[in-house]
Amino acid sequence: MKKDKNIKTIAIVGLLVICMTCLTVSYVYNHPKRELEKQVKAMTGSNLNLTFEQAKAYFNGVDSTYISLPKKKLVVFVDSTSCSGCFLSHLNEYFEINDTLQIRHAELVIVLHPQHARLYEVSSCLRQEKFPFWCILDSDGEFIRNNSDIPSNQKLHSFLLDEEDVIALVGNPSRNNKIKELFYKTLQHMHSHEGGLSSNRHKQNGTLGQIPLPVKSGSLATTLKTNSLSQT
C-alpha cells in the first residue's frame, strides 16, 4: 500500500515537472515574439523624424542635401553595429523596390550610420556606384538621436511611411517575402487612398485607428507582421 502511494507521489511530481518544463519552453519561445509585437505596435502610427543638419546625402552618386518632402517613403536604417560595406554590396536588391516606389510617386531613403573608420570607404562607394535613390551618410548619428524610441533590433529598422512621415509598416521587404507582400499591398492601398495615414485617422473604441489595410486590421495585422519579422 505504501509502495503504491510512493509511486503515485512520484508520478504526480513527474507530471508537475513536465508541466513546468512545457510552460518554461513556451515562455522562452513566445516572449521574444510578444516583445516584438509590442514594439511594432508602439512604432506603427508614430512619426519618423527625417531632419538632418550634418549628414551628407547622395543621389545618383552626386553630393546633395536631403529634405523630407510630403511623399510616401521606404526608409532603411543601417546603424554602426551593422556591416555597412556588406549592406552596400547588396543594395542592388532594392532596385526593384525602388522602381515600384517611383511608379507610385514614392521614394527610397537609405540612412547609413557607419563606424568612423569606414566613413571614407562608404562615401567613396556611394559616389562611385551612383545608386538611383537617396543614400544618407549620417556620420554624426542624427537619425537615432532624433528617433530615440527606435528599438536596437535591426529587424525593426525599415519603415514604410505615408506623406506625413507616419509609420505604416515596419520590416524590410528585401529580406522577407511575407514582409515584401505586405509592403506591396500596403503601398498600393496607400496610393489609392492619397492623403496618408494621418489625414485618414479616426477614433475607434477610444484609440486612434488607421486607414484599413489590405489584410485584416488590428491585432491580427500586427501578428502577421510580427510573425513575418520573427522569421527573418
Section 192-208 average pLDDT: 45
119-131: b (≥16 Cβ within 10 Å) or e: eeebbebbeebeb
Q: Cα 69–140–107 angle (5° rounding)?
A: 25
- Give the pLDDT confidence score for residue 148 in this predicted structure: 93
The one-character DSSP state at 126 is H
| Grid cell at residue 137 | 551618410
| Grid cell at residue 97 | 523596390
Residue 155 has pLDDT above 80, yes or no: yes
| Grid cell at residue 66 | 536631403
Percentage of the chain exceeding pLDDT 70: 69
| Total residue count of the chain as it appears in this document | 232
Task: Find which of 36-45, 75-84, 196-205 is predicted with most confidence, using mean pLDDT.
Answer: 36-45
Q: How confident is the model at residue 82 (pLDDT cuts 50, 70, 90)?
A: confident
The residue with greater pLDDT, 3 or 118, is 118
- Give the pLDDT confidence score for residue 92 in this predicted structure: 87
Q: How confident is the model at residue 209 (pLDDT cuts 50, 70, 90)?
A: very low
Average pLDDT, the chain: 77
- Give the pLDDT confidence score for residue 34 in this predicted structure: 84
Please state the CATH superfamily assignment of the domain spanning residues 41-230 in this structure. Answer: Glutaredoxin (3.40.30.10)
Q: How confident is the model at residue 86 (pLDDT cuts 50, 70, 90)?
A: confident
Q: Distance between CA atoms of 150 and 169, rounded to whole angstroms?
A: 14
With the C-alpha atoms ordered 7, 12, 16, 22, is the resulting torsion angle positive or negative? positive
Section 141-156 average pLDDT: 93
Section 24-35 average pLDDT: 51
114 Cβ partners below 8 Å, 6+ apart?
Answer: 78, 80, 84, 121, 122, 137, 139
Q: Distance between CA atoms of 54 and 57, rounded to whole angstroms?
A: 10
